[in-house]
Copies of this chain bind each other. A is one copy, B any other.
């Protein structure tokens, strides 16, 4: 197999979630379902990439759902056994081949290398892999 132009598809975490949610079983399914605010602690190498973000911004946080099962291809939506099995790409199940979490949150506060954001359902210790601004007219239409 030809390598992808010698570029690895290995992620390098840019930070970590610090949350009061310690276990997957305690996490709501979505941030909007009663999740708390949490902190994103940004690793030193990536702190410069935060410049321009401010409290009040709407951002998208991408995480690596490190406790997910990567072999799962079908699930009962919302873990409800009464609902028909669906492909994971038609659901937001954390169990999927590449368990990337997508969280749209508001920035509450920025302190040097950490951001308080919320509401967010990711559990304590979840690696953060990217932060992006929400684009009006693209994300919101």
Question: Which A residues form the contact surface with B (CB < 8 A)?
Answer: 4-5, 7-14, 30-32, 45-46, 48-53, 59-60, 62, 64, 66-67, 70, 73-74, 85-92, 96-98, 100, 102, 104, 127, 129-133, 135, 137-141
Contacts and interface: CB of A to CB of B under 8 A. Distances in A.
20 contacts: A8-B10, A9-B13, A9-B127, A11-B11, A11-B98, A30-B135, A46-B89, A48-B87, A49-B89, A49-B96, A49-B97, A51-B74, A51-B90, A52-B86, A52-B90, A90-B133, A92-B133, A96-B130, A98-B130, A140-B140
From A14, A88, A96, residue with most partner B Cβ within 10 Å: A88
A66 B89 CA distance: 22
A67 B97 CA distance: 22
A66 B4 contact: yes
Identical copies in the complex:
2
Given A30-B135, A62-B100, 4 more contacts: A12-B70, A52-B90, A104-B139, A139-B139
A5 B69 CA distance: 13
B97 A100 contact: no
Nearest to A12: B97
B132 A102 contact: yes
